[in-house]
Chain A
């Protein structure tokens, strides 16, 4: 049997998939900060829908692993996110 013909089983951990989606959205932002609301809306353009709580958990986990950096914009008071250099490396193949 040709081993290449056998397809990989789909990766089904929903939280890891969500984190990958977050990385993929933030990747084209380069070094600019993207506010959390825009990130949330972008995520919910695709399905399955993502709740705010799940998004916050995913962001927290990615931040704890130093893949994401965040700040609170002093003028708008919005929380904004961007990839750290290690996050950029991780998001490279996405």
Chain B
């Protein structure tokens, strides 16, 4: 749940749905959350914090400028491509393992101080809240895009798996199955591994159903064979009875009793 929230919005502070969107989109909402040390993306031209904020060094100003260029808040008039993320945020220089660890902390823990303490404990570089936010937003974006890409691949794999099964499905059912798998993975409702298990269960259920059908056919065949044998025996007996008219009455009673017991037996099956 927390993971979905975090990856879904790209900001670990943002609550779900409407509130988060408002924070992203509405300058008023953005202003409401602004505080020293909390980067405000929607208020570029505001001089409000200029009086209280400490004076920045040239390097800090340059990094801040590039960050805004990267964010699309300021046009890139430098006539060159954007600098790589690592040049404006040391967190992007961390090795892959530490990056994933940091991303996991940020995803699970909403408190910057706690995250910073964990960074210190691990001997990882100090980071400002802005750098943490930028890092998290970038990583969350990457995870999200990977998930959408993976959703299509997993859905295709699932459809192929079902196509290989002995049971034949129509193209419409396969397309619906693939679309549902894609939808669930892309929206984070289910992990790709879980889809594999679902497919296995789906196929197992179909195979059980077919086994039940086969069993029913076998039972029906057995019933017919039994009925045939009884009819044959009765015909033979009838031939004998014809030769002894006294026994005919007893024979008719026996035939009725047999027919009744057969009906009862079928009902029980």
Contacts and interface: CB of A to CB of B under 8 A. Distances in A.
Contacts of B71: 47-48
Contacts of B140: 45
A94 interface: no
Contact of A28 (B41, B149, B187): B149
B81 A34 contact: no
A30 B153 CA distance: 9
A33 B151 CA distance: 11
Contacts of B60: none
B155 A49 contact: no
A58 interface: no
Given A44-B10, A45-B141, A48-B73, A7 B24 contact: no
A44 B21 contact: yes
Contacts of B10: 44-46
Contacts of A48: 71-73
B43 interface: no
A25 B79 CA distance: 27
A49 B25 contact: yes
A49 B42 CA distance: 9
A33 B184 CA distance: 12
A72 interface: no
Interface residues of A, number: 22
B91 to A, nearest CB: 17
Contacts of B135: none
Contacts of A38: 148, 186-187
A17 to B, nearest CB: 8
B99 interface: no
Interface string B178-213: 110011001100000000000000000000000000
B203 to A, nearest CB: 21
Interface string B204-237: 0000000000000000000000000000000000
A12 B75 contact: yes
B137 A32 contact: no
A7 B79 contact: yes
B17 to A, nearest CB: 9
A7 B78 CA distance: 10
A16 interface: no
A28 B152 CA distance: 7
Interface string A27-65: 011101111001001101111110100000000000000
Contacts of B152: 28-30, 32
Given A7-B80, A47-B41, A47-B72, A42 B145 contact: yes
11 contacts: A7-B80, A29-B151, A29-B182, A34-B148, A44-B9, A44-B10, A45-B140, A47-B41, A47-B73, A48-B73, A51-B25
Interface of B: 8-10, 21, 24-25, 41-42, 70-73, 75-76, 79-81, 137, 140-141, 144-145, 148-149, 151-152, 155-156, 178-179, 182-183, 186-187
Given A35-B183, A45-B9, A51-B25, 7 more contacts: A7-B80, A10-B75, A25-B145, A29-B152, A30-B156, A47-B72, A48-B72
